[in-house]
Amino acid sequence: MALNSLIRTSDLSPVDVARILYHAEEFRQQPDRNGTLLQGRTVVQYFAKPSTRTRLSLHEAVARLGGVPVAVNDSDLQLDRGETVEDTARVVSRYAAAFTARTFSDELIVNFARSATVPVVNALTDTDHPLQSLADLMTIGQRFGSPKGCRVAYLGDANNVCTSLLQACALTGAHITVAAPVGYGPDPATVAHAAALADPTEGSVNVTTDPEEACRDADVVYTDVWVSMGDPAESQQARLEAFAPYQVTERLMGLAAGDAIFMHCLPAHRGQEVAAAVMDGPASLVFDQAENRLWTSMAVLAMLLRGRLEGR
């Protein structure tokens, strides 16, 4: 069945993921292919949060596909004046070819997608970040040929990046271990969902509180910030203390496989979740990873829109 929107990574099938990664690599090698797909059309891009990679990669993706990106916020859309998400979705659908949203509430984007008649793409919510996870898979595949069979260690907060990475690894047959302090790991339902996705692909999902266990013989060591946008100030010091043993250091990287890579979705805080020597070292692929946000965003938009627009 054709995919209408992308709200979470697990909306994709293993075949969808493989198709997106294949076309993302095509876009990387031939950036101007499908340069007229969105000709004469706009994509509305809603940002309720600050953004660097998401905003720039999506803006560029739409432009390279021949369209016009229109960036808006709450006041631009009048959501802060009481217009409902559902009414906004119906109006946007009359004008634009697609809608992307970087926001806090999962409910907002789910309700928008239910009312919209154009594709809706989650560009980050509190619990999911599917566009990031696709760029992560592309980066792993560039180094190891395929994510399948790769051993991925994620250290730190079980946030939206972690949730989507769990699903992405499960869908591609990778083996992921999340290491987090007690009280900061993924919830059991998230783990069970990812484990169910991993069963047919021969992947696996594990959770531990031991960062050394997670890193030992890993092909990929991944981390993210310890304090996210929206975390209350009073909890930040407690987080820094709890996560201190999970900093990705040269010693922890030394436990990984000899050709292991380091990944981070950015922005990074050197000296907190990652040592500067690792972040800027030879194993770090963080800027390739950031670049891949462009190619995978192009592939996602092309997949969602090609059938709708080619017959116009």
Residues annotated as catalytic are: 102, 129, 132, 224, 265, 293
176 beta partners: 152, 205
Q: Report the 3 state secondary structure along the chain.
A: CCCCCECCHHHCCHHHHHHHHHHHHHHHHCCCCCCCCCCCCEEEEEECCCCCHHHHHHHHHHHHCCCEEEEECHHHHCHHHCCCHHHHHHHHHHHCCEEEEECCCHHHHHHHHHHCCCCEEECCCCCCCHHHHHHHHHHHHHHHCCCCCCEEEEECCCCHHHHHHHHHHHHHCCEEEEECCCCCCCCHHHHHHHHHHHCCCCCEEEEECCHHHHHCCCCEEEECCCCCCCCCHHHHHHHHHHHHHHCECHHHHHHCCCCCEEEECCCCCECCCECHHHHCCCCECHHHHHHHHHHHHHHHHHHHHHHHHCCC
Q: Are 67 and 96 in contact (CB under 8 A)?
A: no
